[in-house]
Amino acid sequence: MEYNGGSLTADHLCVLVHGLWGNPNHMKNVAKQLRETHSEDKLYILVAKRNSGSFTYDGIERGGERVCLEIEEELESIRNRGGNITKISIVGYSLGGLVARYAVGLLEMRGIFREVEPINFTTFATPHLGVRTPLHGFHNHIWNVLGARTLSMSGRQLFLIDEFRDTGRPLLAALADPESIFISGLKRFKRRILYANIVNDRSVVYYTACMSRIDPYANLNRIEPNYLKGYEDVVLNPIKPISLVNKKSEPMTVSRKLNYLRNRWMFALAVFLPIGVVAFLLNAVVQTFRSSKRIRLHESGLAGIQIENYRSPIWLKELRGTVEDAYESLNNQQEEAYIRPWDNDNRYGRLESSEARILQRERRNSSSQFPTLSLALSQFTMIDELDKLGWRKYSVWIHNVRTSHAAIIVRTDSERLKEGYVVLRHWLKEEFLI
């Protein structure tokens, strides 16, 4: 990676963590913008590489352990060469944001934050609440079942069907536990910042990237965006991101009907015909098998990581191309569903009293203007606990591409993704503390 490293006089280390199916090159333009803004004498850059490609299938826990080890090795290497890192910032993109949150917990557990001061923690288009579709309807249910079983352990964790160690809860719920090292570690950062696409993110939709129980951008015809001065047409004002447009709902025009039918037809094709989906499913079988082998090696200590160093008690109380396109196409066909005041509790199964109170609160607070999404009860709890940390949240409207997930960090050197430079400029100029 061209922009890795820095001068031994730099006292601030910034770690970049790529996402699912990713590799260090995906973070190239983030690293480039960092370097153009902050010299080698001020900032040292580490682009994590141990989770490249299919290694991202192996789960957030193992990914976090690999990143934690890379950070520790880099800090030791810098010290051995005469440098002295006193500050650290961590940036996660997509799944990399969850891997980074896990690594933060391990760094906290291992006492690294007593040696270096945590400054900025930033995520771009990260599924903080997982990627389970807020659902009603058969095809949404099918996607939640299918999607969870096509990405090995990472898929199970993203769709909230895993059980983290002996907690009886999904890993993402454990990451948001207020008594955990993960929350304790995140609290130490001076700033927690996130950027979320409001439209056209076919991998990580708005509600999960922004940790929100509503989606005010579900109907773009009803809103007028309010942009931040100097970052017009891309970054919305977090204080008042939108104004409602007072106009009656328009009947479905011929063009809208054709567009609706086209989307339904594309979904039918995506399910029944294309080579891309077949490739995705076949690749899922192969990668899940390979991932299982890697996980066994990892757990046995034969993958280069002494896992006993990272498996101390977690609780403070106790001390790639076609495949990605196919996944995005299927995921993009899911429709949002909402909690309504008259909904019964049947679809949530038998509820404990605490869970019933959560659901009653969400039903009571749901409005016709911005109704509450039909999330899992654990997701509502995640939102509550993560919001207590205080996040600087920015909604991003990228217009020029149908795949804003790649554009938000300018993942490739394509002219079509250039709106992402506005996002990176805002982050570096307004939010990133050096």
**Amino acid occupying residue 298:** H
- Reported as a pLDDT band with limits 50, 70 and 90, residue 258 is very low
Which residues make Cβ contacts (< 8 Å) with residue 49, sequence separation at least 6? 1, 23, 24, 70
Q: Is residue 227 within 8 Å of residue 234, measured between CB atoms? A: yes
DSSP state string for 260-280: HHHHHHHHHHHHHS-HHHHHH
- The torsion of the CA quartet 170, 55, 320, 234, rounded to 10 degrees, works out to 60
- Reported as a pLDDT band with limits 50, 70 and 90, residue 418 is very high
pLDDT at position 210 over 70: yes
pLDDT tens string 231-248: 999 999 999 999 998 755
- Reported as a pLDDT band with limits 50, 70 and 90, residue 269 is very low
DSSP state of 216: T
pLDDT at position 273 is 47
pLDDT at position 107 over 90: yes
pLDDT tens string 50-61: 988 778 888 999
pLDDT at position 252 is 46
Residue 374 has a CB neighbour count (10 Å cut-off) of 21
Share of residues in the chain with pLDDT > 90 (%): 56
Measuring CA to CA, how many Å separate 64 from each of 61, 136, 387? 5, 33, 22
Compute the distance between CA of residue 254 and CA of residue 256 in angstroms, rounded to an integer. Answer: 5
- Reported as a pLDDT band with limits 50, 70 and 90, residue 363 is confident
Q: Bigger pLDDT: 148 or 30?
A: 30
Share of residues in the chain with pLDDT > 70 (%): 71
Domains in the chain, CATH or no CATH each: 12-337+373-431 (3.40.50.1820)
Q: Is residue 11 within 8 Å of residue 87, measured between CB atoms? A: yes
Q: In a 3-state reduction of DSSP, which class is residue 357?
A: helix
**Residue pointed to by tokens 């900025």:** 120
Average pLDDT, the chain: 82
